[in-house]
Amino acid sequence: MFESIPGLDADPILGLMAAYRRDSNPAKIDLGIGVYMDDNGKTPVMAAVKEAESQLLASQQSKSYIGPAGQAEFNERIAQLVFGSDLTASLGERRCTFQTPGGCGGLRLAAEFINRANPNGKIWVSDPTWPNHVPLLGEAGLHIESYPYYDQDSHSIRFDAMMAALDKAGPGELVLLHGCCHNPCGADLSPQQWQAIEELALRNGFTVFIDLAYQGLGDGLDEDVYGVRLLANSLPELIVVSSCSKNFGLYRERVGALTVITQSAQSQAAVSSQIASVARGIYSMPPDHGAAIVATILGQPELLQKWDSELTQMRTRINNLRTLLVERLARAGVARDFGFIQQEKGMFSFLGLSKAEIASLINDYSIYMVNSSRINVAGINPDNIDYLIDSLTTLLLQST
Ligand code: LMR
């Protein structure tokens, strides 16, 4: 059965992680996979997470099954974090939230559910988007179409072209938007642009699906969900998948959530029963530990504050690194203008390098980045910045 199955190339992002680990160059730099790193190049367990874990260790009485929807406390508290308490209250029974195995689990659960409600429907994704959106959504049966989003030459959002493409989307079609900190380009929609999308969705009747993987890593916990809250407040239906991998640093614990907002409270029972049945058929139930940590943190004001201030430090560090990178490149005499990096949000930006330049950075300098020239800004630190700037300067001066 398995003798003729063809092998596949490594995943474009996970393969980089493995290649970086194999590289014996002591000067190597990891700007690849989207994992937050501190000034020491480490991805530490957050102090609030450690504290919640020790509370759980002392208090947990059972490891019995929790069910396909996960923990009710987690679902309620994550909804409050994403939508805020007023909107959560006003959505009332029109909202259901399911704990999922990470953001990926949430995206797949959503896609399988959508495919039941509207088989073989179309989903519009940004060009570019996170590469894993394609298998996560497409292998569930959705047809993927792309809309223009980022202009590599002007380093800005192609908003008019995006709106012209989305004007073709109608009822039964979905439009996937990145809630904040766009992955891979870091260029986020402005409030006015979110408002224009809101109007278009209301006029054309397509369903918006928001992937929210970086809440708190752009401008702030509330600021980063401006668009999510705007649309949740006015559209009849909405899908939001949120992740706790980055903002709680819980990557390997796999914590995420799928929220579906329906037009009427009456349809929630049917929707919830379908989502529960899809989850049961894929993984039965989400893992508990990471979600229990999040529920513990969000449920205690002191822990919540501790986590919020750790998250603020992470965000501030990333934003400072953006400024530092731009300043250092300019000071080193690089003629290309990298100022756009300062305006972009979250962990990622494109450096705008050619395939040959990227290959040279990886092979000749051991500086790892995704083959689109996406860098994880958080991978820069005081120990590697000189080597990074020297290498980029040498490479860019050679190619001018
Ligand atoms: C990334 O984009 O690097 C992260 O979201 C990690 C992943 O799974 O690809």
Q: Which residue has the tokens 């495919």?
A: 115
- Would you say 375 and 351 are in contact if contact means Cβ atoms under 8 Å apart? yes
Confidence at residue 12, expressed as pLDDT on a 0 to 100 scale: 86
Rounded distance from Cα 69 to ligand 1 centre (Å): 24
Active site residues: 130, 211, 246
Rounded distance from Cα 213 to ligand 1 centre (Å): 10
Confidence at residue 1, expressed as pLDDT on a 0 to 100 scale: 95
Phi, psi of 126 (to 5 degrees): -70, 150
Q: Whose CA is nearest to atom 4 of ligand 1?
A: 34
pLDDT at 332 over 90: yes
Confidence at residue 397, expressed as pLDDT on a 0 to 100 scale: 85
Ligand 1 atom showing the smallest separation from residue 104 Cα: 8
- Would you say 298 and 80 are in contact if contact means Cβ atoms under 8 Å apart? yes
Name the average pLDDT for the chain: 96
Name residue 191's amino acid. Answer: P
Rounded distance between C-alpha atoms, residue 236 and residue 94, angstroms? 9
Rounded distance between C-alpha atoms, residue 345 and residue 13, angstroms? 20
Rounded distance between C-alpha atoms, residue 400 and residue 398, angstroms? 6
pLDDT digits (tens, 9 = 90+) for 179-234: 999 999 999 999 999 999 999 999 999 999 999 999 999 999 999 999 999 999 99
pLDDT digits (tens, 9 = 90+) for 73-130: 999 999 999 999 999 999 999 999 999 999 999 999 999 999 999 998 999 999 999 9
Confidence at residue 398, expressed as pLDDT on a 0 to 100 scale: 80
Rounded distance between C-alpha atoms, residue 394 and residue 59, angstroms? 56
Section 327-332 average pLDDT: 95
Q: Whose CA is nearest to atom 9 of ligand 1?
A: 13
pLDDT at 298 over 80: yes
Confidence at residue 271, expressed as pLDDT on a 0 to 100 scale: 97
Of 384, 386, 387, which Cα lies nearest the Cα of 40? Answer: 384
Give the mutation target among 107, 108, 130 for probing the ligand 1 site: most ligand atoms within 8 A of CB: 130
**What's the pTM value of the predicted model, to 2 decimals?**
0.97
pLDDT digits (tens, 9 = 90+) for 11-58: 889 999 999 999 999 999 999 999 999 999 999 999 999 999 999 999
Ligand 1 atom showing the smallest separation from residue 33 Cα: 3
Confidence at residue 77, expressed as pLDDT on a 0 to 100 scale: 98
